[in-house]
């Protein structure tokens, strides 16, 4: 059985983690499948938005598999199959799978209806938008294992939460319920677990209707602005605006508005 299911409907791709019996823990096979999936979707011009979710009724992701991935990462044991060997040969796949070291260049929406712990929470943090259910456990437990969150958790958490709240999660290692973090703006929406995927797809459809090059540029500039000076961010903004002004979509949008019809954006 495939550990990642990918469904494309129109311009929206849904990536579903499918190791429900193992709480979608990131074993070598799942890591490799995710890394390959992100690259494939990045290259697919038909796909404009990506939703990442878990199999219905399961944990979103329990982090890296303690029985397989972590021993391979630390060198505690030798690879036992082709997936473990591929991971041992390239530990960077862990960062690609969790979107720390790979950017698909398109909006990613995390649909979190089940617990997201350690690497699972880091995957959620890597998304651009997040829809979550109440009662979901969220946490970064790595310090209890002699490690730190190294898939973006230490770098990103304080960008999404007040520093004191982020530090309690990072240093305490204990999970909290999603509704505890909701007032801090971590989620775009919090809805019942049965509605999480539906609402995530509604967000995805809304984004996918817009001009794809404009969406990609707005996302890129916004993300870059977090780490550069305001002057540099404004320069980058102007550069992308000028580039977009030359596109067919930039002509189509105002024309469709004047003609009172839906625009037909082609990404060109």
Please list the active-site residues: 122, 142
Q: 230-245 and 248-258 are packed helices; what angle lies between their axes, rounded to 10 degrees?
A: 70
Longest dimension (CA), the chain: 65
Query: Cα separation of 53 and 32, whole Å?
Result: 17
Query: Cα separation of 255 and 262, whole Å?
Result: 10
Strand partners, 117: 139
Residue 15 contacts by C-beta under 8 Å, 6 or more apart in sequence?
A: 4, 5, 6, 34, 37, 41, 50, 51, 52, 53
């Amino acid at each position: 059985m495939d550990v990642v299911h990918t469904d494309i409907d129109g311009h929206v791709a849904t990536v579903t983690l499918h190791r429900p019996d193992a709480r979608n823990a990131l074993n070598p096979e799942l890591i490799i499948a995710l890394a390959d999936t992100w690259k494939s979707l990045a290259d697919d011009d038909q796909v404009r938005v990506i939703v990442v979710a878990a199999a219905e009724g399961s944990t979103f992701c329990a982090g890296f598999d303690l029985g397989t991935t972590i021993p391979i990462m630390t060198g505690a044991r030798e690879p036992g199959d082709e997936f473990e060997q591929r991971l041992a040969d390239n530990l960077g796949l862990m960062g690609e799978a969790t979107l720390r070291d790979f950017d698909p260049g398109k909006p990613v929406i995390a649909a979190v209806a089940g617990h997201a712990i350690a690497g699972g929470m880091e995957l959620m943090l890597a998304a651009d938008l997040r829809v979550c259910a109440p009662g979901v456990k969220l946490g970064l437990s790595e310090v209890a294992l002699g490690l730190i969150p190294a898939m973006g958790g230490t770098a990103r958490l304080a960008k999404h939460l007040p520093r004191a709240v982020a530090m309690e999660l990072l240093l305490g290692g204990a999970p909290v319920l999603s509704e505890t973090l909701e007032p801090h703006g971590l989620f775009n929406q919090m809805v019942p677990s049965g509605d999480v995927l539906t609402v995530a797809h509604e967000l995805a459809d809304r984004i996918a209707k817009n001009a794809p090059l404009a969406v990609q540029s707005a996302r890129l500039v916004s993300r870059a602005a977090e780490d550069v000076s305001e002057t540099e961010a404004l320069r980058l903004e102007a550069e992308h605006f000028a580039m977009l002004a030359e596109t067919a979509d930039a002509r189509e949008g105002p024309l469709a508005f004047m003609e009172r019809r839906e625009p037909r954006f082609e990404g060109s």
